[in-house]
Structure 1
Amino acid sequence: MPLHPYHLYPKHSTEPFGFELSQAVVDRLDQGDRLGYYHRDFCGYGLAKLEDEYVYGIVVDGYMSASSALTASQGGSSERRVFTNRSDFVAWLAAESDESLSGRNTSDYGNQRIDRWRLLSFVEGRE
């Protein structure tokens, strides 16, 4: 697999992910793939298509729930985003950046967050 020159992007870049990358990520989600770490306890943040919703949220023990009514201890978060429309989800992700999803001003800042490198790895099948 070709490696992307991720080192060219500053850590927590404010450059938006863009439509092309976001579209490719959502194409994989539509195939049933999920972006998230799979280990015990807090696994950071992930992306998934659960039932008929596109979800950005906390992954715990390798799983993310579709319910948008979860408490923080159940995997809910004020950062959690749920979309029922593919084009709205693509537009949201395209406008996000490493910085906007870094969790600045939270207790889990930078901890297993979604960033450009993880999105590129996911699209290329490396994550």
Structure 2
Amino acid sequence: MALGKKQLYSRMLAEQVAAALQTGRTLAAYHRDYCGMGLECVGGQFFYGEVWDGRLRDWNTLENREAFIVDFPDQSAFVAWLSAQSDATLNCHEMPLPFYWDNQTITQQRLEAFVTDAPCNARPAWYQAMLYGNEPVGSEITPSNPEG
């Protein structure tokens, strides 16, 4: 395993990710079936978990079970956890099926793209609101401003 994969994410990056999630954006691919691992914040609570059919915290259709999810009660708990992670710790090698290993996992590259609004499978705030019915934090959804 390359040394870069073991490098812990910085606290600054973790704080930037938390701030981006609090705007209502979600870091998750949205396509059919297994979409890898994702991050989101709903009502001040942060989540890391499996994404199925574009939805975090949904049903695992491959193994017919609830999706794996870790929740954090607040930003400080999430930032402390994320800043102690690396590409190696989030590669899903602890999962029993090799199908999950390094399959659309959270990586430093995806996190950095997410905080800079670059393509990274980030879901815009208006899409989050449509899926879950929660209002995006800090943005207005209007017909003239569909991106929030």
Aligned residue runs from structure 1 range 1-127, under 5 A = 10=2, 13-65=5-57, 73-77=64-68, 80-106=69-95, 107=97, 108-126=100-118, 127=120
TM-score between both structures, scaled by the size of structure 1: 0.80
- In percent, how many aligned pairs have the same letter? 32
> CA separation in 1, counterparts of 2:113 and 2:80?
20
Tell me the TM-score normalised to structure 2 length: 0.69
Higher strand share: 2
Would the aligned equivalents of 2:6 and 2:87 in 1 still touch at CA under 8 Å? yes
Is this contact kept in 2: 1:35–1:46, CA < 8 A? yes
In structure 1, distance between residues paired with 2:57 and 2:43: 10
**Per chain length, whose mean CA-contact separation is higher, i.e. which structure has more relative contact order (CA < 8 Å, sep 6+)?**
1
- Tell me how large the CA RMSD over aligned residues is: 2.1
Distance in 1 between residues matched to 2:3 and 2:54, nearest whole Å: 25
Amino acid at match of 2:28: G
Q: Which has the larger radius of gyration?
A: 2
Q: How many residues align?
A: 113
Deviation at 1:11, TM superposition (A): 7.6
Please tell me whether the aligned partners of residues 43 and 58 of structure 1 are also in contact (alpha carbons under 8 angstroms).
yes
Identify unmatched segments of 5+ residues in structure 1.
1-9
Contact residue 59 and residue 75 of structure 1 kept, 8 A: no
Q: Which runs of 4+ in 1 moved over 6 A?
A: none
For residues 99-124 of structure 1, the C-alpha deviation after alignment (integer angstroms, 9 at most, x for no partner) is: 00001243210000001000011011
Distance 1:88 1:46 in 2: 17
CA distance in 2, matches of 1:125, 1:91: 23
Structure 2 residues without counterparts, runs of 5 or longer: 121-148
Corresponding residue number in structure 1 for 2:125: none
Letter aligned with residue 77 of structure 2:
D
